[in-house]
Amino acid sequence: MEPMTDPRLAVIVLAAGQGTRMKSSRAKVLHPLAGVPLIGHVLATAQELSAAHVIVVVRHEREAVATAILELMPEAIVVDQDATPGTGRAVELGVAALPSGFDGEIVVVSGDVPLLDAATLSGLIVAHRASASAATVLSAIVDDATGYGRIVRDVSGALLRIAEQKDATAEELTILEINSGTYVFAASSLRSQLPRIGSDNAQGEKYLTDMIGVLQAAGLAVDAVPAPAAWMVEGVNDRVQLAVTAARLNAMIVRGWQLAGVTVQDPATTWIDIRSSLAEDVELLPGTHIAGATSVARGARIGPQTTLVDCEVGENATISRSDATLAVIGAGASVGPFAFLRPGTELAEDGKIGTFVETKNAKIGAGSKVPHLSYIGDTTVGEGSNIGAGTITANYDGVNKHKTVVGSHVRTGSHNVFVAPVRIGDGAYSGAGTVIRKDIPAGALAINVAPQRNSLGWVAEHRAGTAAADAAGRAGDEGTD
């Protein structure tokens, strides 16, 4: 059952920044974290809050960011920040996009703070509503507050002001409670006081942090509530911080799956994306990455050194030292080691894709095997068939792709080439080294290799004086033709 929308709640997400410290052509908020863009985590939190309105303010890499936002949350409203810089101006534009009659609470969050969860924001909203404040700041207790605005409280614990680093007294600089940059505002107070924020500063920006002082100067109450942990409000500004955040989030994801009944042999080297799902009694070996929307059924054993992207894995399947993308692996099937399953691979129950095998757009039937050193592309294999080692499907003629169809209970020899389009009938066999250029009828044996001919004495005649000739001479047996 979908949660009811809160008609008195709006969320404004600030996502207009360039993120120059990422040193990337990609917008900062689009960098992936556990398989989802940074801003995707923030939007998911907003969705969990059941806000009636979600406004996202964008500017840098506008088209890419807006496209991602609407794919993740089609109901979001994307607003463009204009030439006036600053978070204060971004919020001003976000507020203007709300219905004129909206008179609830407005939560302001940053698009680069992915670990701030809905439970923490819900607590902040509850505290804000209970205090009837014009604004409530989400604060955090940190080990090193250098560079942050300090939360200055009076002897009773009430918020006096936010002291920015450059303006703080020596005593205030010792405070370890900081402004996180996340707020809840009463919509009426925010609308009335936002125009008072100026841009008379070195950067010529309208800073949202100035709003707290503006509200207090107007005689309106402002409060601050600490987050449960400082890491929840940490932003991602460079790739070092991105890696730290990714490791923290992954540790939480892995732990969650362990508590849900998944065995993870080495959490430090196991990565699980947030959209993946795992059943009880799944076992993940070291060096495994479960990525995208991969789902793994009960009893499957994955790894070591395996990556699955957007795959579906059946019960009790085993996958070892392999890579697979957009593949379906059936119950009881085995893959690897060192297999490469490309998109469109479907391995049915109890089937096998073995060592150094690459597949693409291949449907391999129940109990069928491609055990060794093969490339199988644009191919359908029936049930109970065995494809010999070193088999290649020549599926591309330089212009078009063609299909190979292998029936059920087929046995093909080693080092075969199937020149598509070609069909191999049920129960057919092929000899080793066969190049199959035309259909094989059901139950037939196909061979096209010339009979072996031994040229006696060839080494002695043509390689006299070599180690091979000496060895042959000592053997004293030239064989028979």
Q: Do both 88 and 221 map to the same domain?
A: yes
Q: Do both 196 and 322 map to the same domain?
A: no
Distances (CA, A) of 129 to 8, 30, 70, 88, 202: 11, 33, 30, 23, 35
Q: Do both 413 and 306 map to the same domain?
A: yes
Q: Do both 223 and 246 map to the same domain?
A: no
Amino acid identity at 418? F
Q: What is the CATH number for 151?
A: 3.90.550.10
- ∠ CA 302-306-312 to the nearest 5 degrees? 60
User: Quick check: is 81 in a domain?
Assistant: yes
User: Quick check: is 307 in a domain?
Assistant: yes
- For the segment 350-401, what is each residue's pLDDT rounded down to a tens digit? 999 999 999 999 999 999 999 999 999 999 999 999 999 999 999 988 899 9
- For the segment 41-65, what is each residue's pLDDT rounded down to a tens digit? 999 999 999 999 999 999 999 999 9
Query: 3-state SS of 449-478?
Result: CCCCCCCCCHHHHHCCCCHHHHHHHHHCCC
User: Quick check: is 155 in a domain?
Assistant: yes
Instruction: Name the average pLDDT for the chain.
Output: 94
Average of per-residue pLDDT across 432-445:
95
pLDDT of residue 168: 86
Q: Do both 180 and 249 map to the same domain?
A: no
Q: Do both 299 and 432 map to the same domain?
A: yes
Contacts of 401 (CB under 8 A, 6+ apart): 377, 378, 395, 420
- Residue 353, domain extent: 239-446
Q: Do both 420 and 377 map to the same domain?
A: yes
Q: Would you name the residues annotated as active-site residues?
A: 372
DSSP-assigned beta bridge partners for residue 323 = 307, 340
pLDDT of residue 192: 93
Kindly tell me if the per-residue pLDDT of 125 is higher than 80: yes
Average of per-residue pLDDT across 334-344:
98
pLDDT of residue 202: 65
Q: Do both 60 and 173 map to the same domain?
A: yes
User: Quick check: is 1 in a domain?
Assistant: no
Report how far residue 81's alpha carbon sits from residue 60's, in angstroms, rounded to the nearest whole number. Answer: 9
Contacts of 97 (CB under 8 A, 6+ apart): 55, 77, 79
User: Quick check: is 385 in a domain?
Assistant: yes
- For the segment 303-313, what is each residue's pLDDT rounded down to a tens digit? 999 999 999 99
233, 267, 290 — which closes off a domain? 233
Kindly tell me if the per-residue pLDDT of 2 is higher than 80: no
- For the segment 260-289, what is each residue's pLDDT rounded down to a tens digit? 999 999 999 999 999 999 999 999 999 999
Average of per-residue pLDDT across 450-457:
88
Kindly tell me if the per-residue pLDDT of 480 is higher than 50: no
233, 257, 279 — which closes off a domain? 233
E runs forming strands in 298-457? 301-302, 307-309, 312-313, 318-319, 323-325, 328-329, 334-335, 340-341, 346-347, 352-355, 358-364, 369-372, 375-381, 392-394, 404-406, 417-419, 422-424, 429-430, 435-436, 445-446
User: Quick check: is 55 in a domain?
Assistant: yes
Report how far residue 326's alpha carbon sits from residue 434's, in angstroms, rounded to the nearest whole number. Answer: 32
Q: Do both 254 and 193 map to the same domain?
A: no
User: Quick check: is 467 in a domain?
Assistant: no
pLDDT of residue 481: 46
- Contact by Cβ (8 Å): 138, 182: yes
Kindly tell me if the per-residue pLDDT of 236 is higher than 90: yes
Confidence of residue 205 (pLDDT cuts 50, 70, 90): confident
- CA 12, chain centre distance (Å): 25
User: Quick check: is 463 in a domain?
Assistant: no
Q: Do both 178 and 125 map to the same domain?
A: yes
Amino acid identity at 228? P
